[in-house]
Amino acid sequence: MNKLDRNQMAARVARDFPDGAYVNLGIGLPTLVADHLPKGREIIVHSENGVLGIGPRPAPGQEDGDLTNAGKEPVTLLTGGSYFHHADSFGMIRGKHLDFAVLGAFQVSIAGDLANWHTGGADAIPAVGGAMDLAVGAKQVLVMMEHLTKAGESKLVERCTYPLTGARCVNRIYTDLAVIDVKPDGLHVVETVEGLSFEELQRLSGVPLKRLATAA
């Protein structure tokens, strides 16, 4: 099968953003989506620290320490962009003004529960950032993750064993193997990568999957 690499996953997510969409891209893998926004569409990228309209990475030497994203990486501002304080920024999130939030995940349950902030280990120092706000606030919560852990276990689970970020909050899951919608009656496979059958994906996933009526 042709597993997607990280950039191909990012491009696949970006393809689903319509012209005019307001999107938040989480730290890590989701940040890559910014490099693959479809040309010809105006897509406004929000960052929790207080900016709308993030543009491309600055050229080397052009970084501005006062202009960063939620990952504290230097960014640029598009013409038409704006700045605002943190409470307004999270008001935009909780107030359901963002069309999409793209988040990484340790696990997603068949009910759409998300676990992405804490491994639950006794000696682990927890850090949550804006993940819980994005999980409840965005109109559509999209998860972007490898389908399997490094040990080969499915990250799609009956019930999350890691502490939850949000309950029943995930709408769609993009992995290196498939695109899957979370619906009230379970997980529906929208598409699989080339060379991967529904049956094989089902076997790897370990949780019940449904074929979307339109899927191949």
Partner 1 sequence: MIDKILPSAEAALADIPDGATIMIGGFGDAGMPAALINALIAQGASGLTIVNNNAGNADAGLAALIKAKKVRKILCSFPRQTDSWHFDKAYRAGEIELELVPQGTLAERIRAAGAGVGAFFTPTAYGTRLAEGKETRRIGNRDYVLEYPIHADYALIKADRADRWGNLTYRKTARNFAPIMAAAASCTIVQVRETVELGAIDPETVVTPGIFVKRIVKH
What distance separates the 2 farthest-apart alpha carbons in the chain? 51
Spatial contact of 155 and 110, defined as CB atoms under 8 Å apart:
no
Q: Which of 42, 48, 158, 191 is catalytic?
A: 48
Residue 176: name the closest of 200, 208, 207, 145 by CA.
145
The stretch among 4-12, 143-151, 163-171, 206-214 that binds partner 1 (CB under 8 A) is 163-171
Task: Please name the helix (run of DSSP H) or strand (run of DSSP E) that holds residue 54, with its range, or none.
Answer: strand 51-54
146 is catalytic: no
The shares of helix, strand and coil residues in the chain, as percent rounded to the nearest 5, are 20, 25, 55
* Least distance to partner 1, CB of residue 123, Å: 7
Decide: is 127 part of the binding site for partner 1 (CB under 8 A).
Answer: yes
Decide: is 163 part of the binding site for partner 1 (CB under 8 A).
Answer: yes
Nearer to partner 1, 41 or 86 (CB): 86
Decide: is 97 part of the binding site for partner 1 (CB under 8 A).
Answer: no
Site for partner 1 in 23-82 (CB under 8 A): 47-51, 64-68, 72, 77
Decide: is 133 part of the binding site for partner 1 (CB under 8 A).
Answer: yes
Spatial contact of 5 and 172, defined as CB atoms under 8 Å apart:
no
* Least distance to partner 1, CB of residue 91, Å: 8
* Least distance to partner 1, CB of residue 47, Å: 8
Number of H helices, E strands in the chain: 4, 13
What does the CA dihedral 154, 160, 165, 170 come to, rounded to 10 degrees? Answer: 60
Nearer to partner 1, 43 or 137 (CB): 137
Nearer to partner 1, 92 or 193 (CB): 92
Neighbours of 189 (CB within 10 A): 21
Q: Which residues are catalytic?
A: 48
* Residues making contact with partner 1 (CB under 8 A): 47-51, 64-68, 72, 77, 83-87, 89-91, 93-94, 118, 123, 125-133, 136-137, 163-167
